[in-house]
Amino acid sequence: MAAMLSRSSVRVFASAAKDNKPRASANRVVPKASLNDAPKQYIETGAEAPMPTGSLPSMATTPFDNYQFAPIREATVSRAMTKRYFGDLDNYAESDVVIIGAGSAGLSCAYELSKIAPDVRVAIIEQNVSPGGGAWLGGQLFSAMVVRKPADKLMAELGVEYEDEGDYVVVKHAALMTSTLLSKVLAAPNVKLFNATAAEDLIIREDPNVRGGKYVGGVVTNWTLVTLHHDTQSCMDPNVIEAQVVVSSCGHDGPMGAHSVKRLAKLGMVPDVPGMAALDMNSRLAKLGMVPDVPGMAALDMNSAEDRIVNNTREVVPGMVLCGMELSEVDGSPRMGPTFGAMFVSGQKAAHVALAALRKRQAAAAAKKAATGAAAEAIAA
């Protein structure tokens, strides 16, 4: 900058400094009038060059000069938001699938569902204002995201660039993967994200025909800010969303994490470990030597942790599919640290498990309806 100052411009600064008062003219820069002195962009774009010596320099010409927005009423802004939001609440009060938690597992579940079943209405409940869970950074708040093969297929499918390191790939910033995945989910016409909304509880119904005699029939929700203030305010009843299938991906235990498995444990509905589904709850607990609580994730072992998460992704109790790190809480499987492949694939697998459960429920409902209709017809005849 100093090299560009003419004598007159130096004088302007000097006079401003004398009485130490800020002046509008104090930072006038008066460059010499020559196109060669103009920044490269002026020459290339043919835009207006700086003003000649002795006059004020012009501002750069940009495509946004003299900008003017279309007029709008404040009430219009309000209605544009509220009518859509409450319309969505209305539409999704009965959802096909509700996903609790928009971390890497929940988002990849929603993405996969939108791909394999565009007819299925999916509501995502995320307690945080910002969706994405723990996948905005790698471990210890570093930037890069490590994904072990073959989970890199999802990156390739989404068009996220990565460095191929042989057995694993590295995305230069975890936020690149998460924002890309999130953008696909948000663009899907059959998916609605309700963020800043916490799942406070589950809807549990009894049915002697299902395993364990109970199934999950939806979620109990509230604004997260309300959920956080139940101790200080009174009587802040929640809202509800009925669902054919709930996918829970609340992450490992924490202030909000592992919400669903903790609730199921309190209700005596888990643990439910693979291969023990045929046993009743007390036999399972006795076999495991457990009190009715979730065991919690075990110590870190990257190699076994990721396979176990994906392979154990399942409908843990009728109506509820578990995926991502929340599973480690109920299975006592190891934590994996900052490697995210299992989260993505577990979410994708959960979409298929949830869809199968949904189709089964839809078929059962259709059969029941047909039987009721036939019985009514028989009575009428």
Least Å distance, CB 135 to ligand FAD, is 5
Q: Residue 237 annotated as binding? A: yes
Q: Alpha-carbon distance 302 to 307, whole Å?
A: 9
Q: Which is nearer to ligand FAD, 30 or 160 (CB)?
A: 160
- Cβ-proximal residues to 137 (8 Å cutoff; 6+ apart), any chain: 143, 174, 175
CA distances to 14, 105, 120, 227 from 117, in Å = 71, 18, 6, 32
Q: Which is nearer to ligand FAD, 49 or 309 (CB)?
A: 309
Q: Which is nearer to ligand FAD, 128 or 190 (CB)?
A: 128
CA–CA–CA angle 141, 193, 158 (5° rounding)? 60
Q: Residue 259 annotated as binding? A: no
Q: Residue 252 annotated as binding? A: yes
Least Å distance, CB 15 to ligand FAD, is 54
- Residue with CB nearest ligand FAD? 103
Q: Alpha-carbon distance 186 to 228, whole Å?
A: 26
Q: Residue 126 annotated as binding? A: yes
Least Å distance, CB 139 to ligand FAD, is 5
- Cβ-proximal residues to 358 (8 Å cutoff; 6+ apart), any chain: 96, 97, 120, 244, 245
Q: Residue 16 annotated as binding? A: no
Amino acid, single-letter form, for residue 118:
P
Least Å distance, CB 240 to ligand FAD, is 14
Burial of 245 per CB tally in 10 Å (0-12, 13-18, 19+): buried
**Bridge partner list, 168:** 148
Q: Which is nearer to ligand FAD, 49 or 261 (CB)?
A: 261
Place of tokens 């492949």: 341
Q: Residue 329 annotated as binding? A: no
Q: Residue 335 annotated as binding? A: yes
- Cβ-proximal residues to 101 (8 Å cutoff; 6+ apart), any chain: 124, 125, 126, 127, 133, 248, 249, 250, 251, 324, 326
Q: Max Cα separation, the chain?
A: 107
Q: Which is nearer to ligand FAD, 176 or 336 (CB)?
A: 336
Helices (H) and strands (E) in the chain, counts: 12, 11
Least Å distance, CB 197 to ligand FAD, is 7
Q: Which is nearer to ligand FAD, 199 or 353 (CB)?
A: 199
Q: Which is nearer to ligand FAD, 50 or 134 (CB)?
A: 134
Least Å distance, CB 316 to ligand FAD, is 14
Q: What is the three-class DSSP state of 114?
A: helix
Would you tell me which residues interact with ligand FAD (CB under 6 A)? 100-106, 125-128, 133-135, 137, 139-141, 198-199, 249-251, 256-257, 259, 324-326, 335-338, 343
Least Å distance, CB 292 to ligand FAD, is 20
Binding site membership for substrate: which residues? 105, 126-127, 134, 199, 237, 252, 325, 335-337
Residues annotated within the binding site are 105, 126-127, 134, 199, 237, 252, 325, 335-337
